């Protein structure tokens, strides 16, 4: 099997590689590093210090990047028998992920910081540093699969077990990055309990450690409070589709399209049904609410596309995923000068600017883009 002249350089299947294993301190990344070492690769573990002021302990299953996590990663590396280092990427993480997260909310958009972290930190800053130091690949505990084609190019596919698939948050990776990515957990149908049992068999103390949930840099899970501390209170109106004032809020950044809870409206809907957030306007600090059916989206425009391989040409049928834990929906997508135009076969709900849309061709990840605007079946004012 030979690489074609135009194929991206990268390790060949079966080679003994120098692998940098990103170890978060959790069970998945520990087992991934252990599997890479067991496969005969020359593995070095690295924990990314992403917080300038890490706490000593996690709050239950929330957060990550604490001192405790660093120690857990080091202990796992010692058991596996691989060298281990801690790399300080806190400033880069703050600029590329945390500051971006705050700025997106301030602009009325709903970002996904996990995609941004994978794009800017784990497979940009980390990978670039790894390649500069002579490593061949970066290994993580993500559940996804990289397939090497006959011409040497790489494709990103869903994990064998789609219940655990994490390809959505990896849809920002380009072909060069895929050529140096390794996901040892993606091609085996093992349940999380089996991963934990494997960790226990290997003597890894993180076998029963809770998974990290929510946004890693908001350990208490209070996104609205986190944003309020950084953006400050900014009272504005909550209005209906006709512009009638229904209540007030302390910051439009505390809402997202499709939100139902926490609106605290003093005026009930005429039909008595719940209202949902339909539009967020940072220009006049107004949140528009309305009935659930007004959330129906028939098409969208997305920007900043990133292709996991050659960019498609012309319209084509795909399936699309709009959330990390969402299902697939049939679409027709076409690249444009601005980015991407997507039309849904059936209306979908809860589409918010700032979210990522990831396109699939079967199990293959075609690419991703950031949602800029949505076409509603019944458009809300300003939407």
Question: Is the C-alpha dihedral spanning 217, 223, 225, 230 positive or negative?
Answer: positive
Q: Give residue limits of the domains in the chain.
A: 18-208, 233-293, 296-376
Strands (E), 105-204: 137-139, 144-148, 154-158, 181-182
Distance spanning both ends of the chain, measured CA to CA: 52
Task: Say if CB 290 and CB 275 are below 8 A apart.
Answer: yes
Nearest residue to 328 via CA among 370, 351, 359: 359
- Written out in words, the top-level CATH class of the domain with range 296-376 is mainly beta
Alpha carbons 296 and 200: distance in angstroms, whole number: 47
- Please name the fold of domain 18-208: Rossmann fold (3.40.50)
Per residue, what are the HEC states of 294-314?
HHCEEEEEEEEEEECCCCCCC
Strands (E), the chain: 18-22, 42-49, 84-88, 137-139, 144-148, 154-158, 181-182, 236-239, 245-249, 276-281, 286-290, 297-307, 316-321, 328-335, 340-348, 356-361, 364-376
Q: In the chain, what are the helix, strand and coil shares in percent, each to the nearest 5? A: 25, 30, 45
Six token digits for residue 131: 């390649």
Q: 296-376: same fold as 233-293?
A: no
Residue 288: predicted pLDDT: 95
Q: How far is CA 212 from the centre of its chain?
A: 14
Instruction: Indicate if 114 belongs to the active site.
Output: no
Residue 180: predicted pLDDT: 96
Six token digits for residue 42: 């020359």
Alpha carbons 295 and 382: distance in angstroms, whole number: 13
**Which listed residue (65, 114, 216, 308) is catalytic?**
216
Instruction: Indicate if 216 belongs to the active site.
Output: yes
Q: How far is CA 121 from the centre of its chain?
A: 12
Residue with tokens 């809020």: 249
Residue with tokens 């997106």: 104
Residues of the chain below pLDDT 70: 1-14, 53-65, 213-214, 378-383
Alpha carbons 176 and 141: distance in angstroms, whole number: 19
CA distances from 291 to 241, 271, 288, 383 (A): 9, 10, 11, 14
Residue 80: predicted pLDDT: 98
Task: Say if CB 168 and CB 358 are below 8 A apart.
Answer: yes
**Which listed residue (64, 65, 114, 117) is catalytic?**
117
Partners of 48 in the β-ladder? 87
Of the CATH numbers 3.30.420.40, 2.40.100.10, 2.30.30.280, 3.30.70.980, which one belongs to the domain with range 233-293? 2.30.30.280
Residue 61: predicted pLDDT: 44
pTM, to two decimals? 0.89
Residue 162: predicted pLDDT: 84
Q: What angle do CA 25, 27, 33 make, to 5 degrees?
A: 80
Task: Say if CB 43 and CB 32 are below 8 A apart.
Answer: no
Q: What angle do CA 121, 125, 131 make, to 5 degrees?
A: 130
Residue 13: predicted pLDDT: 61
Task: Say if CB 7 and CB 151 are below 8 A apart.
Answer: yes
Q: What angle do CA 314, 379, 255 make, to 5 degrees?
A: 100
The edge-to-edge listing of strands for the beta sheet with 286-290 is 245-249, 236-239, 286-290, 276-281
Residue 219: predicted pLDDT: 76
């Amino acid at each position: 099997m030979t690489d074609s002249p135009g194929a991206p350089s990268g390790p060949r299947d079966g080679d003994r590689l120098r692998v940098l294993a990103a170890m978060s301190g959790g069970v998945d990344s520990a087992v991934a590093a252990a599997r890479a070492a067991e496969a005969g690769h020359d593995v070095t573990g690295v924990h990314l210090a992403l917080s300038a002021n890490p706490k000593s302990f996690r709050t239950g299953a929330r957060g990550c990047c604490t001192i405790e996590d660093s120690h857990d990663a080091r202990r796992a590396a010692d058991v596996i028998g691989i060298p281990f280092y801690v790399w300080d990427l806190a400033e880069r993480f703050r600029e590329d992920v945390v500051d971006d997260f705050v700025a997106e909310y301030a602009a009325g958009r709903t970002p996904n910081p996990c995609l941004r972290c994978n794009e800017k930190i784990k497979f940009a800053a980390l990978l670039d540093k790894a390649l500069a130091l002579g490593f061949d690949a970066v290994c993580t505990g993500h559940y996804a699969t990289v397939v090497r084609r006959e011409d040497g190019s790489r494709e990103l596919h869903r994990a064998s077990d789609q219940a655990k698939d994490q390809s959505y948050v990896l849809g920002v990776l380009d072909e060069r990055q895929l050529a140096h990515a390794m996901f040892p957990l993606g091609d085996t149908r093992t349940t999380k309990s089996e991963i934990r049992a494997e960790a226990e068999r290997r003597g890894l103390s993180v076998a029963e450690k809770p998974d990290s949930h929510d946004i890693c840099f908001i350990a208490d899970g209070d996104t609205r409070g986190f944003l309020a501390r950084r953006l400050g209170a900014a009272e504005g109106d909550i209005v209906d589709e006709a512009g009638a004032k229904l209540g007030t809020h302390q910051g439009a950044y505390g809402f997202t399209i499709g939100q139902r809870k926490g609106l605290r409206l003093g005026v009930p809907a005429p039909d008595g049904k719940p209202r949902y957030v339909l539009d967020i306007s940072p220009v006049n600090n107004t949140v528009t609410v309305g009935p659930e059916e007004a959330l129906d989206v028939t098409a969208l425009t997305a920007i900043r596309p990133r292709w996991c391989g050659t960019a498609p040409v012309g319209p084509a049928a795909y399936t699309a995923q709009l959330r990390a834990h969402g299902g697939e929906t049939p679409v027709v997508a076409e690249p444009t000068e601005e980015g991407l135009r997507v039309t849904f076969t059936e209306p979908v709900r809860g589409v918010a600017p700032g979210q990522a849309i990831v396109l699939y061709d079967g199990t293959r990840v075609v690419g991703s883009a950031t949602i800029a605007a949505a076409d509603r079946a019944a458009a809300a004012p300003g939407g």
